Structure 1
Amino acid sequence: MRLLCLLFLALLAAPATAADLNYFTMLPTTPTASGVPSEAKAFYVEWREGAARYTELLGANEEIQKKVGKPLDRQGALCVLWTKVSEFARETEVVLKARAVAQGRTPPSWTANAVAKTAERAKKECQDPTDDYGDRQPNLGRRYMEELAKSRPSRAELVRDDDLLGSLSRLVGAIEEVVKSLPARAGTALQAGSTSVPVLDPRLFLPKECKGVECSL
């Protein structure tokens, strides 16, 4: 009995690895903590879903795991999750502003706050953790992303994932829908559409992953 208790305690103390983690529950379900107002929740929903799927794919990538030498742990997963939320927020701000300006509309102001807050959270989660001896160890999430950047085959596999692209396609739809409702800029005539901004491709939100990969941007 004592041995069983010790084994149970050891299992509880063991750090969670990629196989044990549910990435879709590790990010807040409410958008306000990320600087997104409730009326713009549709954006946060897709950032969250896209980031979770991205982290799931990265954590399961055998090539990357072999290069790093360790499975993705909880701290590393949080680093990847918030990094991607932050990057999706930043790309959303850029695309939303360009789309709005091209149509003579006023871009929303909340995006700057969202970019700042999510970047701050990503920086916090990507810090190197300390081990039981007080020594700093490399953040595994950062290591996984570094190895992904070096691997064209792994990036190509990631940017072809239907679930990830589905989430980013819905993000594109949310941007287009919101732009239609934005007020006109002072002294500017509204345009029905614009040729100065290209048709939105969901892979616009994966610029680093598309580097050197055929993404049809």
Structure 2
Amino acid sequence: MRMLCLLSLALLAAPAAAGDLNYFTMLPTTPTAAGVPSEAKIFYVEWREGAARYTELLGANEEVQKKVGKPLDRQGALCILWTKVSEFAQQTQAVLKSRAESQGRTPPSWTSNAVAKTAERAKKECQDPYDDHGDRQPNLGRRYMEELAKSKPSRAELVSDEDLLQSLSRLIASIDELVMSLPARAGTALQAGSTSLPILDPRMFLPKECKGVECSL
């Protein structure tokens, strides 16, 4: 009985491998719980969904895992998750600002706070961990992203994933929904037909992954 108890404790203490991780439950479910403004709710759901799907794809990539030499662990997964949330937030801010200004509307100011908070969290989660002996080890999430950047085939596979692209398409729809509710800039009258916005390719949210890959950007 004592041996069984010790074995159970050892298993609980062992770091979770990629196959044991549920990336979709590792991020807070609400923006306030994630430390970003509540106004980000319309976007956060897709930042979270897209980041989880992205991490799932990267964690299961056999070529990248072989090059890194280790399966993705929990801290590495958090590094990828928050890095993608941060990048999606940055791109959301840029797209929202561009589309709002093209319509003669005033973009919201709270997006800057969301970008800063998610970038801060990503930096924290991507720090190198220490092993049981106190030796610094490379963050596996950062290593996975580094190897992905070197592999055109792996990036091409990732940017063609339908689930990921659907999530990013919903993010674009959410941006456009908010844009249409924004007030006109001071001294600017909204132009007739200003309710029409050009269609965007969701892969614009994956510029690094599309580098050297055939993406419609």
* TM-score, scaled to structure 2: 0.95
What residue is the counterpart of 1:101 in the other structure?
101
Percent identity between the aligned chains? 84
Amino acid in the other structure paired with 1:201: D
What residue is the counterpart of 1:16 in the other structure?
16
Give the distance between the partners of 1:40 and 1:18, measured in 2 at CA: 29
Give the distance between the partners of 1:33 and 1:6, measured in 2 at CA: 35
Kept in 2: contact 1:36–1:110 (CA 8 A)? no
What residue is the counterpart of 2:83 in the other structure?
83
Kept in 1: contact 2:155–2:213 (CA 8 A)? yes
Give the distance between the partners of 1:37 and 1:152, measured in 2 at CA: 36
Deviates more, 1:47-56 or 1:33-42: 33-42
What residue is the counterpart of 1:140 in the other structure?
140
Indicate how the Cα distance of structure 1 residues 131 and 184 shifts in structure 2: closer, same or farther if over 3 A, else same.
same
* TM-score, scaled to structure 1: 0.95
Q: State the shift of 1:30 in Å.
A: 1.2
What residue is the counterpart of 1:53 in the other structure?
53
What residue is the counterpart of 1:173 in the other structure?
173
Q: State the shift of 1:34 in Å.
A: 4.2
Kept in 2: contact 1:32–1:38 (CA 8 A)? yes
What residue is the counterpart of 2:211 in the other structure?
211
Amino acid in the other structure paired with 1:185: R
Kindly provide the CA deviation profile for residues 20-62 of structure 1, in whole angstroms up to 9, marking residues without a partner as x. Answer: 0011111011102445443441200000000000000000111
1:199 matches 2:177: no
Kindly provide the CA deviation profile for residues 155-185 of structure 1, in whole angstroms up to 9, marking residues without a partner as x. Answer: 0000011110010000000011110000000
Amino acid in the other structure paired with 2:202: P
What residue is the counterpart of 1:184 in the other structure?
184
Aligned CA RMSD, in angstroms, stands at: 1.6
Deviates more, 1:6-15 or 1:207-216: 6-15
Amino acid in the other structure paired with 2:115: V
Amino acid in the other structure paired with 1:54: Y
Gaps of at least 5 residues in structure 2 are none
Kindly provide the CA deviation profile for residues 121-173 of structure 1, in whole angstroms up to 9, marking residues without a partner as x. Answer: 00000000001111100000000000000000000000011110010000000
Give the distance between the partners of 1:215 and 1:33, measured in 2 at CA: 34
Amino acid in the other structure paired with 1:98: S
Give the distance between the partners of 2:119 and 2:54, measured in 1 at CA: 17
Gaps of at least 5 residues in structure 1 are none
Give the distance between the partners of 2:34 and 2:90, measured in 1 at CA: 12
Q: Aligned pair count?
A: 216
Kept in 2: contact 1:64–1:148 (CA 8 A)? yes
What residue is the counterpart of 1:71 in the other structure?
71
What residue is the counterpart of 2:159 in the other structure?
159
Give the distance between the partners of 1:54 and 1:94, measured in 2 at CA: 21
Give the distance between the partners of 1:170 and 1:49, measured in 2 at CA: 10
Indicate the SS of the match to 1:181. coil
Give the distance between the partners of 1:58 and 1:25, measured in 2 at CA: 17
Indicate the SS of the match to 2:180. helix
